[in-house]
């Protein structure tokens, strides 16, 4: 009888068509997710005009999806470790597709806000699950690169919403951009068929036949045998209390630091997206169209995500992430300095790379920190807690803007969370991470083992 360490098998695999398929499907889901989140900002001026919505009500309509994302990330991230990640992803796609499309039928702010809250459950819930899916199956040597490349689809979705939104709204009305968001629900059967299930989930249910199929895809040289038995390290075994494990085995303090880091980063992301254009206008800059600004910010985010992931695979991901927080503090502060428009857009792109891009790298680090069995739970709770920073940011910065403070002080208020986030990341105890445990187990002084052993 052979005992096969499926975790080690995934770590040591070479990138092949199986990994590419997982990457493409996860990236496509994130593109849909990014579109659904960005589409409200694109359509909001037309919605306000058509429905006669006051600015105060419009703000509530926008934030309703953010409230849904808090609960979606926590609940659907946690439940995935119990019902299976593939099924949880399908539920999320149905939620954000159906209810974003339903928003196009709303004729009053309350109805719109309710359906956007329900869509937010899926938007927030899908993020921790696709990150956990990609992290679990990516080869260790390129894990951060694949996760951040996949998650850069979030920025692609924002770009698609910006590019298509104007023409769709002008031709078919604001409802059309929401109806278009319903299309991904048609892909749910394909998603269920294409994405592999979480390996600890399959192991806990004795699905060794499915695990044999996955092992053959991860390692083409593997030949299945009826006597093969699969195993994972003790910390990766699924059980019925995943939330408790976020605070066990010395992870409690680091879990709290992840929550602080996520809160601070998402605060910066939503502070910039809500107030940067207004602050720059008060500074006397002519930024051009809002479309150009969205493109610059999201292009910067893509570069920051992919570049940060590439660096994280070559250097220590913890210190790469801390450095990105530091760059965010500097770039946001520089926005208060008078400069030519070209230089301003360069700094805006750098701010996008070091805020949205930093959040994507933080997702990758969190996925690597927690064991397989609680990966969706750990990332879901971090995103859920962090999302409260996204909700508070527009309100807090709005109050400061209303106080008519000097421009520099407003940008310092946005930049300060980057410093706090950097300190939080540096305080994370990487020795407690799942990846550090695997490094220790595979150290030269340990007893030699392999993914396949008799």
- Contact present, 361 and 320 (Cβ < 8 Å): yes
In the sheet where 229-231 sits, what is the strand order?
Answer: 229-231, 3-5, 452-453
Residue 423's pLDDT is: 95
Residue 319 CB coordination number (10 Å): 14
Lowest mean pLDDT among 11-20, 67-76, 204-213: 204-213
Lowest mean pLDDT among 11-20, 53-62, 201-210: 53-62
pLDDT top residue among 316 and 55:
316
Angle at 191 between CA 189 and CA 197, to 5 degrees: 115
Q: What is the pLDDT of residues 324-364, one digit of tens each?
A: 999 999 999 998 887 777 788 888 899 989 998 898 889 88
Residue 446's pLDDT is: 41
Please enumerate in sequence order all residues whose Cβ is within 8 A of that of 316, keeping only pairs 6 or more positions apart, or say none: 430
Would you say residue 146 has pLDDT above 60?
A: yes
Longest dimension (CA), the chain: 74
- Contact present, 155 and 301 (Cβ < 8 Å): yes
The dihedral formed by the CA atoms of 199, 204, 206 and 211, expressed in degrees to the nearest 10: 10
Number of H helices, E strands in the chain: 18, 3
As a whole number, mean pLDDT of residues 385-409 equals 79
Residue 294's pLDDT is: 66
pLDDT top residue among 329 and 166:
329
Would you say residue 4 has pLDDT above 80?
A: no
Closest CA to 360 of 13, 17, 30, 50: 30
Residue 358's pLDDT is: 92
How far apart are the C-alpha atoms of 365 and 35, rounded to whole Å?
A: 24
Would you say residue 234 has pLDDT above 60?
A: no
| Domain locations in the chain as residue ranges | 3-195+242-438
pLDDT top residue among 419 and 197:
419
Supply the DSSP string of 254-323, one letter for each residue.
HHHHHHHHHHHHHHHHHHHHHHHHHHHHHTT-----HHHHHHHHHHHHHHHHHHHHHHHHHS-HHHHHHH
Q: What is the pLDDT of residues 75-121, one digit of tens each?
A: 887 777 678 888 899 999 999 999 999 988 988 888 888 998 999 89
Lowest mean pLDDT among 56-60, 156-160, 424-428: 56-60
As a whole number, mean pLDDT of residues 409-432 equals 90
What SS3 class is residue 152? coil
Residue 200's pLDDT is: 77
Provide the mean pLDDT of the chain: 80
Q: Which CATH class name applies to 3-195+242-438? A: mainly alpha
Would you say residue 164 has pLDDT above 70?
A: yes
Residue 117's pLDDT is: 92
Angle at 421 between CA 432 and CA 66, to 5 degrees: 100
pLDDT top residue among 277 and 121:
121
As a whole number, mean pLDDT of residues 413-433 equals 89
Residue 324's pLDDT is: 94
Q: Predicted confidence band at 288 (pLDDT cuts at 50, 70, 90)?
A: low
Residue 93's pLDDT is: 93
């Amino acid at each position: 009888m052979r005992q096969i360490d499926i975790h080690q098998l995934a770590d040591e695999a070479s990138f092949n068509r199986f990994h590419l398929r997982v990457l493409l499907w996860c990236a496509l889901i994130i593109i849909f997710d990014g579109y659904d989140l960005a589409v409200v900002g694109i359509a909001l001026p037309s919605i306000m005009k058509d429905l006669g919505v006051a600015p105060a009500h419009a703000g509530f309509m926008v934030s309703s999806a953010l409230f849904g994302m808090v609960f979606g990330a926590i609940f659907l991230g946690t439940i995935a470790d119990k019902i299976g990640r593939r099924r949880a992803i399908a539920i999320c796609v149905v939620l954000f597709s159906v209810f974003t499309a339903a928003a196009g039928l709303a004729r009053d702010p309350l109805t719109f806000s309710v359906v956007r809250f329900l869509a937010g459950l899926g938007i927030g819930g899908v993020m921790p699950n696709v990150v956990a899916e990609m992290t679990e199956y990516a080869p260790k040597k390129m894990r951060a690169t694949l996760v951040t490349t996949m998650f850069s689809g979030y920025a692609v979705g924002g770009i698609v919403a910006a590019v298509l939104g104007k023409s769709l709204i002008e031709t078919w009305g604001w409802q059309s951009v929401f109806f278009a968001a319903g299309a991904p629900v048609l892909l749910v059967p394909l998603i269920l068929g294409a994405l592999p299930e979480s390996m600890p989930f399959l192991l806990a249910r004795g699905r060794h036949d499915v695990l044999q199929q996955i092992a053959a895809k991860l390692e083409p040289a593997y030949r299945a045998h009826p006597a093969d038995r699969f195993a994972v390290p003790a910390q990766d075994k699924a059980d019925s209390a995943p939330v408790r494990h976020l605070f066990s085995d010395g992870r409690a303090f680091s879990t709290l630091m992840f929550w602080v880091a996520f809160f601070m980063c998402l605060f910066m992301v939503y502070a910039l997206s809500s107030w940067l254009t207004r602050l720059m206008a008060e500074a006397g800059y002519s930024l051009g169209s809002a479309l150009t600004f969205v493109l610059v910010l999201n292009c910067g985010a893509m570069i920051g995500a992919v570049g940060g992931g590439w660096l994280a695979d070559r250097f220590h991901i913890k210190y790469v992430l801390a450095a990105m927080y530091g760059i965010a503090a500097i770039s946001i502060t520089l926005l208060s300095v008078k400069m030519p428009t070209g230089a301003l857009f360069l700094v805006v792109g750098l701010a996008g790379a070091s805020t949205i891009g930093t959040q994507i790298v933080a997702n990758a680090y969190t996925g690597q920190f927690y064991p397989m069995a609680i990966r969706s739970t750990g990332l879901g709770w971090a995103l859920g807690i962090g999302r409260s920073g996204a909700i508070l940011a527009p309100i807090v910065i709005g109050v400061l803007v209303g106080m008519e403070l000097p421009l520099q002080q407003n940008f310092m208020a946005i930049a300060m969370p980057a410093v706090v986030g950097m300190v939080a990341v540096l305080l994370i105890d990487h020795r407690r991470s799942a990846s550090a445990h695997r490094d220790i187990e595979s150290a030269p002084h340990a007893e030699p083992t392999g993914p396949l052993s008799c």
